[in-house]
Amino acid sequence: QVQLVESGGGLVQAGGSLRVSCVASGRTFSSYTMGWFRQAPGKEREFVGRISPSGSSTNYADSVKGRFTISRDNAKNTVYLQMNSLKPEDTAVYYCAARTTMATTFENGYWGQGTQVTVSS
């Protein structure tokens, strides 16, 4: 069982930066692929990016590529989402998720409660 708690959301002006964090419980954090997702009001949840268990591999949605960076610190059971050059359309609740390497999707994995990010124009 893994519990995920996000933090660091808030209000930021367009063009600004924000880093959100996700702390995981349990001793097996380093074995999980971690992902970030977001959901804007009235829209479906969308994939933002993922990072491999070791942190050596990442991939991102086209909408955030070049602006967002995912990293992790396995010693601290924490995954980060650094968001730069923020746009109003990045406004959403951001969720972290964990899945085992055997799983192909995050749907049946573990999810945090989300943190709100609001970008003002």
- What is the predicted pLDDT for the residue at 24? 97
CB 7: neighbour CB atoms within 10 A? 13
CA atoms within 13 A on the CB side of 119: 19
What does the block give as tokens for 38? Answer: 């977001």
Contacts of 13 (CB under 8 A, 6+ apart): 86, 119, 120
Q: Which residue from 75, 93, 91 is spatially nearest to 24, judged by alpha carbons?
A: 75
- pLDDT digits (tens), the chain, 121 positions: 899 999 999 999 999 999 999 999 987 999 999 999 999 999 999 999 999 999 999 999 999 999 999 999 999 999 999 999 999 999 999 999 999 988 889 998 999 999 999 999 9
